[in-house]
Amino acid sequence: MKAILVGLGGRARHWQAACDAHPEVKLVAYVEPSEENKKRAIEERGVPADLIYDDLSDAASVEADFVVDVTPPAVHEIIAMKAFDAGLNLLGEKPLSDNFEAAKHIVEAGKKAGVKHMITQNYRFNELPRTTRRLLEARHIGDVAQLDVSLYVDWADNPGSHYVTEPYMFLTDMGIHHFDMMRYTLNADPVSAHAITWNLPWGWHQGDACQIIVFKFENGIVATHRGIGCTMGHVPAGHNGEWRYEGPKGTLTWEGFDLFYTLKHKQNPQIREQIELDKIDGPNPVLNEFVRALQEDRQPECNAEDNLKSMSMVFGAVTSAMEGREVQLSEL
């Protein structure tokens, strides 16, 4: 399948390598308006200069099956509209957009164009969430009633970057990964968000980088997310965070990068068992899923319409933090 890579900044390095390594994908064009980024891509990554266009519209004559969009979030709507107008399928970097109204517009435009549109929520494709989803569907711990997630990281400490200067970036940029994994592992959708955010005295972010968020789900599950983006101490589990699922038959916990099942109460036999993780096929399961969806003419996992539900958790939490109240996600 033929692809056009839009954006030749830092994130493009990953997706260029992923496409080059995939036996069924060939990059046939690149789009980048910045001369500096073009020069770097040509010199450092061997991108052919004659295949680089200033704008996606300029590449209209190039025969392709899909676009890979690795531009900044504020540009996603523009790229999506141009891809859809050309009848091209779209694999877009998260988040869907930095604006919820724009995100909804993108979703509707993609549906109207009749194309496949997938968001690269790569965290859910890892071994921990995949194995957890399987165990929860098998009711390994019974019906889950509560999920608690903790994330302690020294996040985005490069002065001047938009992660440092813009508001709520820790919640929006890191949160979307975790919120999407909540939905995926629980196989349920949230109905409300209640968030409190703040900064620590030594924090380097201009926007709040600490948070406690409570999500209520349609099936009664309560999920909490506690995060500190400016810790000066131990980071126990990288960006995965620590997860704890509570059920009547025990708990599932993510500890570091391992999964444990624990049962310990009254007359029950005491169990602490490390669960072997399911293996993931291929070096890039996100790209694999998108290619398979195109080949099978079906909606991919993490399609834009589904991803809008994860986005609602982000914008619901931001609205809650700003207004100091619980927000029903149906309000958005």
CATH superfamily of 2-115: NAD(P)-binding Rossmann-like Domain (3.40.50.720)
pTM across the whole model: 0.94
Q: Residue written as tokens 């968001």?
A: 119
In 172-284, where does DSSP find H-type helix?
175-186
Question: According to the model, what pLDDT value does residue 244 have?
Answer: 99
Q: Which two tokens stand for residue 261?
A: 């099942």
Taking the mean position of all CA atoms in its chain, how far away is CA 215?
A: 18
Per-residue pLDDT of the chain (332 residues; tens, 9 = 90+): 999 999 999 889 999 999 999 999 999 999 999 999 999 999 999 999 999 999 999 998 999 999 999 999 999 999 999 999 999 999 999 999 999 999 999 999 999 999 999 999 999 999 999 999 999 999 999 999 999 999 999 998 888 888 898 899 999 989 999 999 999 999 999 999 999 999 999 999 999 999 999 999 999 999 999 999 999 999 988 999 999 999 999 999 999 999 999 999 888 889 999 999 999 877 899 999 999 999 999 999 999 999 999 999 999 999 999 999 999 999 99
- Which of 171, 126, 162 lies closest to 318 in space, CA to CA? 171
pLDDT at 161: 80
Residue 69 and residue 12: Cα distance in Å, rounded?
9
Whole-angstrom distance, CA of residue 90 vs CA of residue 96? 11
Q: List Cα–Cα distances, 283 to 21, 36, 57, 127, 134, in angstroms.
A: 9, 30, 31, 12, 21
Which helix H or strand E contains 285, and what residues bound it? helix 285-296
Amino acid at site 214: V
- For the chain, what are the domain ranges? 2-115, 123-280+312-331
123-280+312-331: CATH number: 3.30.360.10
Phi and psi, residue 50, nearest 5°: -75, -5
Q: What is the dihedral of CA 51, 294, 312, 254, to 10 degrees?
A: -100
Q: Which residues fall within 8 angstroms of residue 43, CB to CB, at 6 or more apart?
A: none
- Distance between CA atoms of residues 330 and 328, nearest Å: 5
